[in-house]
Structure 1
Amino acid sequence: MSSIDFNGIIPAIAVPFNQDYSIDEPELRRFSRWLAGQPGIHALMTNGHTGEVFSLTPRERAHVTRLTVEAVGDICPVISSIVCEGINDAVEQAAMAKEAGARGLDIMPPHHWLRFGFKPEHCIDYFTAIGKASGLPLVVHVYPAWTRASFSCELLAELARSPHVAAFKIGTREMNKYARDLKAIREADPTKALLTCHDEYLLASMVQGIDGALVGFASLVPGLIHELLEAVRAGDLKQAMAVQARITPLKDAVYGGGEPTGEAHGRMKAAMARAGIIRSATVRPPTHAPSDKELRAIDEALLAAGLTVQAAA
């Protein structure tokens, strides 16, 4: 079904902005092309949380995807996230993403599910409608277990059996349920790719037996995350722990003790700019730029990770 090889690193890309908050199109093209060429990158994903999707209009989301597709060419495919409140809107935005060149779609739960919850059949109907209308392989974006948009193991198994679903971006963030989720999906259809999106504890989630990682943190440290995945695949725990030790200070500076948030994405953008990966750390409101104290912590972490030199050509 899918022409995308999900068995590797898929960065959820950040979007560079100009000082007036418009999309910095030349910088987005340059950054996307650089990132797509890094070792172990199998695809790029636009319009994720790292890409500040909630600050983008539907038309801008399609434009970001189009610019990224044009920039990367044949280097790797591009996936676009779909974040909508209803089926008609989702089908329309999926069509816009496909027209822009996306070869796969990451489907986030409608955000009213976070407030009101949902029935399993709502979820199946949602994915089925998008899959039938777009004809593109879908990635199930699994939200944290503590949210009302969390998917049960039984629902994940049912989604795994869907012909429209190719992969799962798993952010359960509760390790007992995470293990059960992986098991349920594998038993339902072992061909569906399992991707960790636990930016804040990569090694702990990778050793559970996943196929790749779809994380925003790979916009900042793609090489280190690739090295980590390769060490895990080789069963070299000592090497994996050494790589994670380089990642951890930067993870702490960006995410602190919590999960990825808007402010964390602002800190990551600052780290990317200070490492020379993107030109500017500008974020769109209501996200705020990091404080001076946070910037000092980022600089120390960059030094520990060896990322203080210009990384992007």
Structure 2
Amino acid sequence: MSVMTNFHGLIPAMAVPFRADHSIDEQELTGFAQWLARQPGVVGMMTNGHTGEVFSLTPRERAEVTRIVARATEGVCPVVSSVVCEGIRDGIEQAGWAREAGAKALDIMPPHHWLRFGFRPSHVIEYFTAIGEASGLPLIVHVYPAWTKASFSSDLLAELAQLPFVKAFKIGTREMNKYARDLQAIRAVAPGKALLTCHDEYLLASMVQGVDGALVGFASLIPGLINDLLQAVRNGDLKTAQMLQAKIDPLKEAVYGGGEPTGEAHANMKAAMAAAGIFRSGAVRAPTIAPNAQELAVIAEAVASAGLSRLRAA
């Protein structure tokens, strides 16, 4: 069984197109995956993230999304699938479905009950170890914001970094002081593990901390701009990086406003993808709410101003 080995670069968290009846549009998803896989700097693609409206999908639908994307990009780009569940047995089962569907790595989100009740560090180590040993796939640690009860301490992140199956960290700390400490703690014990920003709403500020790539939903819309920004930061070209971030900012404001990614922000991004010609429709599944007419006008103006019209067709 082949696995994903390179986590250094751009990994878009994929949006999922729906038909008018809210079923998964396999033809549209296939074309989108093939387009995204060819974008410069893309080293993998992630299915079943928050951008993909994962909480509106059944576990079997999540496996189906991964199957569609893996089949569309076979031999071109490896697929990472997120695992979103409540316990170890559930995690092992869903990880197995993802592997069978063609996933070459897994992004492991914290179980929802950790958000409600918290956890002991031993719970986290046991969870990742069980899924890693059962699946045999490389794991990405999905780091939740510092203000949540599912936030991992810097010491726990360092412990996770030493697990053999853990190969990368999708870091969404969203508190820059802790973010810097987290990066330092991981680097100190496992310098070869990939550190990936998932701060869609302030990319440049998070990239200049010394990360290895970006795993962001925003790359479903603007993979080229985000890759250019990452390369400018890697090259130490701050002037170019600032210029690129200035291009991104109006789109960022239209999609995310002044906050973090949310269900409604993901709906805004799908609307922007439709306006850019990436998707035929910006349809979302409940409970996500589509943007209203005023919001759609703002999104359309930002897409036009950024020169993204008919992006996929180009």
Answer whether TM exceeds 0.5 for this pair: yes
SS at match of 2:81: strand
C-alpha offsets along residues 204-247 of structure 1, whole Å, 9 cap, x if unaligned? 00000000000000000000000000100110000000000000
Conserved 8 A contact 1:80-1:104: yes
Structure 1 residue ranges without an equivalent (≥5): none
Conserved 8 A contact 1:4-1:77: no
Aligned counterpart, 1:193:
194
Distance 1:6 1:296 in 2: 37
Aligned counterpart, 1:131:
132
Aligned counterpart, 2:41:
40
C-alpha offsets along residues 249-301 of structure 1, whole Å, 9 cap, x if unaligned? 00011001100000000000000001001111000011111011111111221
**What is the CA-CA distance between 1:2 and the residue it aligns to?**
5.7
Aligned counterpart, 2:60:
59
Distance 1:71 1:171 in 2: 29
Distance 1:191 1:90 in 2: 26
Aligned counterpart, 2:227:
226
Output aligned runs, 1:81-100, within 5 Å. 81-100=82-101
Aligned counterpart, 1:161:
162
Conserved 8 A contact 1:246-1:304: no
Q: Tell me the TM-score normalized by structure 2.
A: 0.98
% identical equivalent positions: 71
**What is the CA-CA distance between 1:3 and the residue it aligns to?**
3.4
Q: Counterpart of 1:298 in structure 2: which amino acid?
A: I
SS at match of 1:84: coil
Conserved 8 A contact 2:35-2:312: no
- Runs (4+) of structure 1 exceeding 6 A deviation are none
RMSD over equivalenced CA pairs, Å: 1.0
SS at match of 2:186: helix
SS at match of 2:66: helix
Distance 2:248 2:311 in 1: 18
Conserved 8 A contact 2:46-2:79: yes
Q: Counterpart of 1:196 in structure 2: which amino acid?
A: T
Conserved 8 A contact 2:251-2:303: yes
Structure 2 residue ranges without an equivalent (≥5): none
Aligned counterpart, 2:206:
205
Distance 2:295 2:246 in 1: 20
SS at match of 1:65: helix
The reply on whether 1:241 has 2:231 as its aligned counterpart is no
Conserved 8 A contact 2:172-2:197: yes
Aligned counterpart, 1:10:
11
**What is the CA-CA distance between 1:312 and the residue it aligns to?**
3.5
**What is the CA-CA distance between 1:304 and the residue it aligns to?**
2.6
Q: Counterpart of 2:145 in structure 1: which amino acid?
A: P
C-alpha offsets along residues 118-167 of structure 1, whole Å, 9 cap, x if unaligned? 00000000000000000000000000000000000000000000001000
Q: Counterpart of 1:271 in structure 2: which amino acid?
A: A
The reply on whether 1:283 has 2:265 as its aligned counterpart is no
